[in-house]
Amino acid sequence: MPDPRPTPIPENLDMTMIPTHVGVVMDGNGRWATRQGLPRTEGHGAGEKALVDTTYGALAIGVKALTVYAFSTENWRRPIDEVRYLMNFNRGLLERRQHELHEVGVRITFSGRRDWRVPRGVLKRMDEAAALTKDNTALVLNIAFNYGGRAEIVDAVRRLVEDRVPASKVDEKAIRQRLYHPELPDPDLVVRTSGEYRTSNFLLWEMAYSELVFSDVLWPDFRREDLYDAIAEYQRRDRRFGGVET
């Protein structure tokens, strides 16, 4: 399906400096719902529109990868009904959206642990969406689901041990190769919504030199214009990677 809401590229964006990979901590669904007197879960449902619009918006300006934080390894601590809702919601989201995303060239991938807590039906949909879209090249939509940055590093270390890598050969490259998606470049920009100023265990390794932008918008209200504002802010930053101006 073509973009249902094509928007002109805003004039304040420098099209020669579009970030290749953007990470998004989609936060504030519960507060959005509570403010309207709705149950928290309604906020998660309303976040679908934000995710789809942000994805189309990223596609329109040539972002190549978007990693979105959908469920953290800590989110299992939430009430069982909310966890159950989130599992069903994410399965349904894939069912509802995988075909239109496929048509516009989005490749869907996942980062996270496939442990026993994730219902089999959800894993099945994840595999299906990944297989359907595996040859697409316009944009990678990488969904961080049952994802934790520490868990990702632990999993990489486990693989180092399984691969019998000697201590003298353990370096950043050896670890990076064993992360969930070594083929993706590190995110240039990470955006967190809802006015919280923390990373909450998102992309710990990959974020070492990402620019961080915090938005007060609650996730269900987030649209591509908010992504463009965050990218405009990113473009004003001076990335030095530990070096000095020459």
> Cα separation of 72 and 93, whole Å?
17
Range in contact with ligand IPE (rule: CB under 6 A) among 8-16, 129-137, 153-161, 191-199: 191-199
Residues 6 or more apart in contact with residue 101 via CB below 8 angstroms = 55, 108, 133, 141
27 near Mg ion, judged by CB under 5 A: yes
Partner touching 75 among Mg ion, ligand IPE, none, CB below 5 to 8 Å by kind: ligand IPE
The least distance separating ligand IPE from the CB of residue 46, rounded to whole angstroms, comes to 11
Instruction: Cite the active site residues.
Output: 27, 75
CB 93 within 8 A of CB 104: no
CB 58 within 8 A of CB 139: yes
Closer to ligand IPE by Cβ: residue 92 or 159: 92
Q: How many residues of this chain interact with ligand IPE, rule: CB under 6 A?
A: 17
86 near ligand IPE, judged by CB under 6 A: yes
Report in angstroms the alpha-carbon separations of 200 from 106, 119, 149, 176: 27, 23, 9, 20
Closer to Mg ion by Cβ: residue 27 or 206: 27
Partner touching 160 among ligand IPE, Mg ion, none, CB below 5 to 8 Å by kind: none
CB 195 within 8 A of CB 153: no
Interaxial angle between packed helices 40-61 and 80-103, expressed in degrees from 0 to 180 and rounded to the nearest 10: 30
70 near ligand IPE, judged by CB under 6 A: yes
User: Edge-to-edge strands of the sheet including 139-147?
Assistant: 106-111, 139-147, 65-72, 21-25, 189-192, 211-214
Residues 145-174 that bind ligand IPE (CB under 6 A): none
23 near ligand IPE, judged by CB under 6 A: no
Range in contact with ligand IPE (rule: CB under 6 A) among 96-104, 105-113, 154-162, 190-198: 190-198
Return residues touching Mg ion (CB under 5 A): 27
